[in-house]
Amino acid sequence: MIAGRYRLAAILGRGGMGVVWRAYDERLHRKVAVKRLLVPTELTGPQAEEAMRRATREGRFAAKLQHRNAVTVYDVVHDDGYSYLIMEYLPSRSLSQVLAERGPLPIGETASIGSQVSDALDHAHAAGVVHRDVKPGNILLGHDGTVKITDFGISRAVEEVGATTSGTAVGTPAYLSPEVARGEHATFSSDVYSLGATLYAALEGTPPSGSGDNAMALLHKVASGEVTAPTQAGPMTPLLTRMLRLDPARRPTMAEVRDTLETLRSNPVAVAATTHEPRSEIQVGEPDAATERVEPQPTLVRRRTTLLVTGALVILAVAMLAGLLTQDREITTSGAPHPSAAPSMPSSDIPVSPQPLTTATSSATAPPTTSQVPATTSAPNDGPAALSAVITEYYALMPGRLPEGWDRLTPRYQQNPAGGRGGYQTFWDRISGVRTTGVTPVAANAVEATVEYNFKNGKVVRERHRYILVRQGARWKIDQSTVLSSQTYRQAA
């Protein structure tokens, strides 16, 4: 019995952020759904309390929404140290379950689902509420044909506390908008993108930026706007293209999405005719002054100024992986360049590095000599010089002495977001040279530095990082890294 009122009956589902039961409200004599929110295990004390405060706040916002296509939140209660959402009970399956069982859906069915969900989201937006977590798992398909969206940012509120405090990402980033993947606040346009990604997955069988076990690599794809052109969307292709634009300001409103989907249900030919955009825009998206190489189809390419792609991506990234978050800004259909891919943009469109790396030559692949990396044999001191040396010595090892560099990372970051030794090796195999400048201690255990990566394909990425260091045994190690700014160039010929 929860809060002396809700009697739990059977588990309906569980996930990383909670468990959902079918329950019975003893007071009002009705079936309800009860979701117990789980606080990430790394959160304790004030952090856990903040997570629950956020969840309660989001629950109260959601409770104000009344719409036929949104699961109603009745109450938020606290019992025995846990927070519970009391919600409308809908006998249903989630869209993610349906896709897992049936595979891609027909266009008409997808348009029907999308029109109902977008109507609920438009209603929420009119009330000033951003969902923040639109994805197939949060769309319920009732046994009676009803479609409802649930979990209006409530679980995400808890997740964000965990991400902020631990420096790691939680859950799958496959349905995040690029700006949210970079660490920016979610807006109405973010919901539009996430719904577009959801509808894309319903039609294509996979999210627009792909999927996989390496959350960090996927996060980069999402943040950089890497989207594979749909092949099964038919007349929905122009709408999806607009919804999945990298620039939030150029996406349609949720009301426009709803209207288009409703029209599509009855007259798909008319929709295709009225929303079709020039082929060049569907392929190339939104070119800006600072652009990178574009791979051939089937990649749907979008660009933005270079500061955006990896800026806040890497609440997750360690120093050696900050480059991984930018390695694929040359937009390909996979995490690594396709062997047959060739540049499709003229070289004049690619900015040339005003300051080519001294290591960015054919000889840059040679590993640094031992004399470049002073050995650390004694217990580290806590002075600024010692902290700075952690960063300079680490990068002096790269890319030729990966085992030694690997040992300078904490176990947590070796596994996530590095993705283990395989992911680490894959990234550095693409680098021919790297250098650091402007290494500056900014706190007792924090250092900032500018890092320039020279990729073997001629791309040069310059980023400003902030590192969090921890001492393990007799050595300082890199535990967290945030990209403060990022620029990508082409090496001068």
Please spell the DSSP secondary structure of 365-425, one letter per residue.
Answer: GSPPPGGGS----S----SHHHHHHHHHHHHHTTTT-HHHHHTTB-HHHHHTTT-HHHHHH
- Cα separation, 288 vs 23, in Å, equals 53
Using alpha carbons, select from 348, 332, 316, 272 the residue that is nearest to residue 455. 332
Contact 300, 197 (CB under 8 A): no
The residue to which tokens 């790396």 are assigned: 357
**CATH number of the 6-88 domain:** 3.30.200.20
Peptide bond into 298 cis (omega under 30): yes
- Cα separation, 364 vs 415, in Å, equals 28
Q: Where does CATH 3.30.200.20 sit in the chain?
A: 6-88
Using alpha carbons, select from 90, 232, 224 the residue that is nearest to residue 148. 90
**CATH number of the 92-300 domain:** 1.10.510.10
The DSSP 8-state label assigned to residue 250 in this structure reads G
CATH class belonging to 313-336+350-490: alpha beta
- Cα separation, 290 vs 126, in Å, equals 35
79 is catalytic: no
**Cβ count within 10 A of residue 63:** 17
pTM over 0.75: no
Contact 147, 140 (CB under 8 A): yes
Sheet bearing 147-149, strands edge to edge: 92-94, 139-142, 147-149
Packing angle of the helix pair 188-204, 95-102 (nearest 10 deg): 20
Q: Where does CATH 3.10.450 sit in the chain?
A: 313-336+350-490
Tens-digit pLDDT string for the chain (493 aa): 999 999 999 998 876 567 899 999 999 999 999 988 776 555 566 766 776 677 677 677 777 788 999 999 898 888 887 888 899 999 999 999 999 999 999 999 999 999 999 999 999 888 888 888 899 999 999 998 899 998 875 544 444 444 444 444 444 689 999 999 988 888 999 999 999 999 999 999 999 999 877 788 888 889 989 899 999 999 999 999 999 999 999 999 999 999 999 988 876 554 444 443 433 333 323 333 333 333 333 333 343 433 334 444 444 343 333 333 333 333 222 233 322 222 222 222 223 333 333 333 333 333 343 334 444 434 446 678 888 999 999 999 999 999 999 999 998 777 655 566 777 887 788 899 999 999 998 888 889 999 998 988 888 888 888 888 998 888 899 988 877 776 777 766 5
Q: Determine which one of 122, 133, 191, 479 is catalytic.
A: 133
Q: What is the pLDDT of residues 276-314, one digit of tens each?
A: 343 333 332 333 333 333 333 333 334 343 333 444 444
